[in-house]
Structure 1
């Protein structure tokens, strides 16, 4: 069993993308050992540099733990000493199912397994999978929104919630299964209405962003945010909502499809709702 006060062992993060490296930074903030796992060696190197950069920017000195990198073929020995492993692979359901099945097979039964998925709840991901220990699987989106499934051990949900608080997160408990958790569920409605308004020719992206920022005082508007996420990713998430909930308008998805067909994916392609300049580090 895991010590509910001070769990022993490392934290393993599978996926060294934007969210994975951010989690590596946070989970190493109290001296713990963190493993960042990815197939892409460049992603791993960039992930470590990102952690070091965030540490250098922090005003107060912390008891930083070690962040080590590894590839998936060395997962089994790493997992033996872990109390938590977090899946941070791309938002692709079959891929997430494959990774979680592998983690369930390799990790000791005392290890908590969490999915960082932004739109798929843990119950959806593990449905139909023949897992050996379903009670230790949870959803932990960015370690901010913690959500179990009907078979999750409530004590493990509480343990992860408490440890997230101790490591500098501001967690919220999602009390019922919810596609998109709390924040992304509400954010999805904002994105959907933004796209619907654009599809109806009510206004331009610049106007939506300007009024949104003026009223809510946010640094970026909905169209700017979608460009950053990637319009292909936004469409995938919207399709998932549409499959799960009847009655959602089709126009927002059609609007996105037309943009994607033109090659307009947002920041990563240099063109989305806005045009971006190419630099040596990509588009900005």
Structure 2
């Protein structure tokens, strides 16, 4: 199977890595040559880490890299049986991409989206092949996390669902099939928890470290909700909450004003160097942002 991955960012390069490591020929596509170069460098570093840990051999590393070709044009999908879109979590961008994919992809090619919240039914509706459109939501970091949330759109064919389910297993992942409603399952449950943690900070119930410690030690979460929000990206969290709020019309999904302000101020978490914590290159110490030091 020839696979194309659209978008060379964090999720796209992780998805390309996993497919290529499992023997699939992958076209990694991005309009930015710099993003493609960065993606290949990231994949190489991650493979080197796997080699150093003994989880793969040097031969597997080399074959994985050989399985990936980078392209700046969507024309590279012309011989693909599967396209996985992993562009930024923006509805207008995704709809535009899928319109183009539908025009270029060969007949019978499955079009999948790695979206974490945007309606698969809505994405499928801009194509002439809604029965071949499906959600394939990987978790970050893709090479490590086992879950793939598979989302059926309103018109997704059952054979397509079965194909993507089996493919996910071949990648060493655990597929979970869900239906297309706002937030699906992962983010419908996760984002209100993160939002409530932010509200707890906003209302002065407890500080950043206390909130995260309660959830780590009390609920056995590997990472507290505020640290996790930083890791996901506060802009992404806000976008997903807005999808939930708009989709259900329920005030319980309304984003906390503190989250809105932080995103407006471009305090986005790990990606910007500061969110609820401050992130310094080369340091693994978790330091609470001075903004919340006196909470």
Spell out the pairing of 1:34-73 with structure 2 (5 A cutoff). Answer: 34-56=26-48, 57-58=50-51, 59-61=55-57, 62=60, 64=64, 66-72=67-73
1:265 aligns to what SS in structure 2?
Answer: coil
1:113 aligns to what SS in structure 2?
Answer: strand
Superposed CA RMSD in Å reads: 2.2
Alignment pair present for 1:146 and 2:138 = no
CA contact (8 A) 2:182 2:248 kept: no
Classify 1:252/1:234 alpha carbon distance in 2 versus 1 (closer, same or farther; 3 Å): same
Alignment pair present for 1:84 and 2:88 = no
Spell out the pairing of 1:168-187 with structure 2 (5 A cutoff). Answer: 168-174=172-178, 176-187=179-190
Classify 1:35/1:277 alpha carbon distance in 2 versus 1 (closer, same or farther; 3 Å): same
- Pairwise CA distance, 1:146: 0.9
2:243 aligns to what SS in structure 1?
Answer: helix
Distance 2:252 2:220 in 1: 28
- Residue of 237, 241, 259 corresponding to 1:256: 259
Spell out the pairing of 1:1-284 with structure 2 (5 A cutoff). Answer: 9-56=1-48, 57-58=50-51, 59-61=55-57, 62=60, 64=64, 66-72=67-73, 75-76=74-75, 78-127=76-125, 129=126, 131-142=127-138, 144-174=148-178, 176-249=179-252, 252-277=255-280
Distance 2:191 2:135 in 1: 18
Distance 2:264 2:22 in 1: 46
Distance 1:258 1:223 in 2: 15
Classify 1:80/1:252 alpha carbon distance in 2 versus 1 (closer, same or farther; 3 Å): closer
Select between 40-49 and 14-23 the one with higher mean Cα deviation.
40-49
Distance 1:211 1:190 in 2: 13
TM-score of the superposed pair, with normalisation by structure 2: 0.83
Number of matched residues?
A: 267
Unaligned runs of 5+ in 2: 139-146, 288-295
Distance 1:258 1:88 in 2: 27
2:267 aligns to what SS in structure 1?
Answer: coil
- Pairwise CA distance, 1:271: 2.3
Classify 1:167/1:269 alpha carbon distance in 2 versus 1 (closer, same or farther; 3 Å): closer
- Pairwise CA distance, 1:173: 1.1
Distance 1:25 1:188 in 2: 27
Classify 1:202/1:165 alpha carbon distance in 2 versus 1 (closer, same or farther; 3 Å): same
CA contact (8 A) 2:124 2:153 kept: no
Distance 1:30 1:270 in 2: 33
Unaligned runs of 5+ in 1: 1-8
